[in-house]
Structure 1
Amino acid sequence: MDDDQPTPQQTAGPFFQPHSPQRASLLEPGINGTKIVLTGRVLSTECRAVSGALLDFWHANDAGEYDVEGFRLRGHQFADREGRYRLETIVPGLYPGRTRHFHVKVQPPNGPILTTQLYFPGERRNARDFLFDRRLLMTTADQGEQKAARFNFVLAFK
């Protein structure tokens, strides 16, 4: 994706819950699955860091199920002065009819909310997923027993 093109919008889906806890790690006792660390930056279309941008993440567990009663595998954080963020979590399982994905809402301070989804490269279900957008593919790598992923969000705002 070009660094000056805004990140595409996508649906929040049926499982968004407001008021998630502030945290940079969604790992907690009872969470199983392959660990992954997602990093990146929040930038403007002018390639400037968006300091203090809110990032709210949620996704399915390793069995493809969403927590709809609490905040397991849900959390928000704020980008640092350089627009950087870092999230520790697990690779989500396969939700019926969908490919693996993370949901995220990104909002610059006092700006509009971008709601989108991030996808994993090389997934067989990508080609059949009705929402899949290759512009939302993360860059991923294996790092021993865990994975690393990277994605930069580009926000269009005044």
Structure 2
Amino acid sequence: MDSQTNSPDPSRSPLVSRKTVLRAALAAGAAVPLAMTGAPALARTFAETGTPVEVTPACDDGDDPTPSQIEGPYFKPNSPQRTSLLEAGTPGTRLTLTGYVFGLACRPISGALMDFWQADTNGAYDNTGFRFRGHQYTASNGSFTLTTIVPGLYPGRTRHLHVKVQAPGRPVLTTQLYFPNEPRNNTDSIYDPRLLMAVRDGGGGREASFDFVLDVPQDPGGGDPSDPPTGGTWAVGTTYGTGATVAYGGRTYRCLQGHTAQPGWEPPNAPALWQLV
């Protein structure tokens, strides 16, 4: 397991590189192409100080998954499906949480169930209804977004969010997410620094990010190794295995990591995925 630090550990770079590359590639469809950036940037590399923050276990083949934590006494099943827990006139500081769900080989998991619940701004849980409770499913690229508020404090605990995450057909991960620089982090017996979100001010409130690594075995190559490489002309929606060759712009490229092609991932724009032959 990685420990939470305020600066990246250079010795861990071989482990984080695969996750970093894949997360940057996932964002390429709606952001600046990889070829135009100095280095792939994780949404999780920001902090209030601007210093990179390493959170969750670095994703690598066979690495440990995100730590689990106790469910606590306030979980309720059958929450409504929604990505925003806000209601009209909801008091509190707005919080937007984004991130991805990965398996053990750092490949994103689509359709993963995520069930969130939390206290309101006064530190109280709604145990009769479903205020500040809701579930959603990760997108095809493994991403999720939750709009809520910063939870309040109550005796014995620091600020935290509860979540259950389940890949299709796999066991449930139950855990909690924490805020950096909270005075009660040091006195909360349940608090685990590996579950710190990266948080900053922005968007009229606070913006946070966290990536989950589930205990889900995956083929790092993105497909059945026995399958022959897919050739032809590069096309959106096509699944390419490691070693596949494609034609694009009059040149030939070899696939470095198995994936399903999306807009913005054309070979010249995604050197993390394609190598000129």
TM range (shorter): over 0.9
User: What residue number does 2:87 align with?
Assistant: 28
Once the two structures are TM-superposed, the CA of residue 144 in structure 1 deviates from its matched residue by 4.8
* Length, aligned pairs only: 158
Distance in 2, matches of 1:148 and 1:128, equals: 25
User: What residue number does 2:144 align with?
Assistant: 85
Question: Could you report, residue by residue, the CA deviation over 1:75-103 in whole angstroms, capped at 9, with x for unpaired residues?
Answer: 00000011000000000000211000000
1:1-158 → structure 2 map (5 Å cutoff): 1=56, 2-4=58-60, 5-158=64-217
Distance in 2, matches of 1:53 and 1:67, equals: 25
Q: Higher helix fraction: Structure 1 or Structure 2?
A: 2
Distance in 2, matches of 1:96 and 1:58, equals: 18
Query: Relative contact order: is structure 1 or structure 2 higher (C-alpha 8 Å, sep ≥ 6)?
Result: 1
Distance in 2, matches of 1:95 and 1:136, equals: 19
Distance in 2, matches of 1:29 and 1:14, equals: 27
The CA RMSD over aligned residues, in Å, is 0.9
Contact 1:112 1:157 in 2 (8 A): no
Once the two structures are TM-superposed, the CA of residue 30 in structure 1 deviates from its matched residue by 4.1
Once the two structures are TM-superposed, the CA of residue 145 in structure 1 deviates from its matched residue by 2.5
Distance in 2, matches of 1:34 and 1:3, equals: 31
Report the TM-score, using the length of structure 1 for normalisation: 0.97
Paired letter, 1:73: F
Once the two structures are TM-superposed, the CA of residue 32 in structure 1 deviates from its matched residue by 0.8
Contact 1:43 1:153 in 2 (8 A): yes
**Stretches of structure 1 lacking an aligned partner (at least 5 in a row):** none
Paired letter, 1:139: A
Paired letter, 1:81: S
Once the two structures are TM-superposed, the CA of residue 157 in structure 1 deviates from its matched residue by 2.4
Distance in 1, matches of 2:88 and 2:78, equals: 21
Identical pairs, percent = 57
Contact 1:51 1:82 in 2 (8 A): yes
Distance in 2, matches of 1:35 and 1:49, equals: 27
Report the TM-score, using the length of structure 2 for normalisation: 0.56
